[in-house]
Chains A and B, each alone.
Chain A
């Protein structure tokens, strides 16, 4: 299975994951500081910053795009409960 790597900048840990993994599946296991609310893409609590590798994530769904807009998110923000890692390296940090 193709692999990708997610580096959680706040704790200095990179996790090798199968392609298609959602960030939420990794960040809690590794103890990163991304926090979650509804876990369904509606509340915006888990908004994170993609420091590097935005192109290695699946495009946001209509729901995620809408919630990001409501949160006045910047272009580097995604929701960790929604974002799927497809390939390569992605560097993230909370907020």
Chain B
């Protein structure tokens, strides 16, 4: 049974703003009953939509807002710490609706406030506000830009794709407070708010990284040096607990998570090709072996073969994340590739795939649609698929296995940059 919402509510009905530092308040909202976020995430502990108010000697800044249905809670908290006519600055670190839902009303109540968004955000702002977007005035900012609140200043860190193109972080320079947006956040609702007070949220932190940030791993690694260079007294993310105790530990953990999931002794020296297959009568398995042999005939390629029936999806996804190339083999049953193959491919959006080599192969009885379908899926996942897939009817002949061997060799030549230059007419392409 889901418990009733806890909202840090005063007896009179107002919601309390929570001080996080001198003249810095949390003014967000608690959503303890949420059990699924953005469809893709389970949220056993609900979530928070964190918004912050920073007061300087010459201005008041609001950093991020909340999901639209929690606007009343947000405004109630904001009104505890600032008048609307005092607000000079609104910063959006990320424009996803769970952080911008209260923005239109905030702009209406504080029309004098200047809106600051990353230079990647204007098109999204227009998409979000639609009718209001045409007349909306804003300032775009990027790495190193700063704005003054008098005795305090906000400096911006350009951290795109964490996890949308528009994402940025905002740093309160004099206090060493990082308003990090979604990075270092998690879906974990606990009204005690601070990491040294709330329940154990480690699983939520790791789960959030795996599902939200992992697909953008290279962008995490690009952003971390910007954060690591800062003095950090507090990390105030847009979801979940505020990191007050040992905030730098969360930055270190992000580095661990974003660096290689599996130590790979071949890295730097060899290219890696992973071959996954599933086989009803052993024919696709034989093809996989021939492709492996062909690929291994090229120096500088480390090849691994896995039977999908013998393993779980998660470790296979880890292997693919680290590999340079992926070949996948499936028989065709009832005009389709088989479910374990689709199960694996449906999980690959969790990892960066851009630029990897992809290939498909398989034996079939009647029609052999699986290979083409898999190639389409690999392209859809943004792999390059330079070698047309190989399919054959039922039991491979010696000649067909030689074709598989050549196919594997071609994949290896592609991986090592040794493939022969080809000229084709567009009419020859599928």
Contacts and interface: CB of A to CB of B under 8 A. Distances in A.
Contacts of A59: none
A91 to B, nearest CB: 12
B119 interface: yes
B425 interface: yes
A56 interface: no
A84 B358 CA distance: 27
Interface in A15-55: 15-18, 21, 25-26, 28-33, 35-36, 42-44
A16 to B, nearest CB: 5
Interface in B163-216: 165
Contact of A13 (B379, B383, B422, B430): B422
Contact of B354 (A5, A31, A33): A33
A27 to B, nearest CB: 9
A11 B416 CA distance: 11
A19 to B, nearest CB: 12
Contacts of B422: 12-14
B355 interface: yes
Most-contacted residue by chain B among A5, A13, A21 (CB, 10 A):
A13
Interface residues of A, number: 27
B384 interface: yes
Nearest to A29: B429
Contacts of B423: 5, 13-16
A12 B386 CA distance: 9
Contacts, number: 70
B289 interface: no
B421 A14 contact: yes
Contacts of A21: 426
A30 B425 contact: no
A42 B418 CA distance: 35
Given A29-B429, A44-B165, A11 B419 contact: yes
Contacts of A70: 119-120, 122-123
Most-contacted residue by chain A among B355, B384, B424 (CB, 10 A):
B384
A11 B414 contact: yes
A2 to B, nearest CB: 14
Contact of B425 (A16, A31, A94): A16
Nearest to B379: A28
Nearest to B355: A33
- Chain B interface size, as a band, is 20 to 34
A29 B430 contact: yes
A42 B425 contact: no
A14 B355 contact: no
B384 A15 contact: no
A33 B421 contact: no
B28 to A, nearest CB: 29
B426 A26 contact: yes
Nearest to A11: B386
Interface string B398-430: 000000000000000010000111111110011
B90 interface: no
A88 to B, nearest CB: 15
A93 to B, nearest CB: 10
B42 interface: no
Interface string B108-127: 00000000000110110000
Contacts of A33: 354-355, 382-384
A10 B386 CA distance: 9
B419 A15 contact: no
Contact of B386 (A5, A13, A25, A42): A13
B426 A43 contact: no
A10 B383 CA distance: 12
A35 B382 contact: yes
A11 B419 CA distance: 8
Contacts of B379: 28, 31
B290 interface: no
Nearest to A13: B422
A42 B385 contact: no
Contacts of A18: 426
Contact of B429 (A11, A15, A44, A94): A15
Nearest to A25: B426
B125 to A, nearest CB: 12
B229 to A, nearest CB: 21
Q: Which 4 pairs, one residue from A and one from B, show the smallest C-beta to C-beta distance?
A: A31-B385, A33-B384, A35-B382, A11-B386
16 contacts: A5-B423, A13-B386, A13-B423, A14-B423, A15-B424, A15-B426, A16-B424, A16-B426, A17-B426, A26-B429, A29-B430, A30-B429, A33-B354, A33-B383, A36-B382, A70-B123
Interface of B: 119-120, 122-123, 165, 354-355, 358, 379, 382-387, 414, 419-426, 429-430
Given A15-B424, A32-B384, 8 more contacts: A12-B414, A12-B421, A15-B429, A17-B426, A18-B426, A29-B426, A30-B429, A33-B382
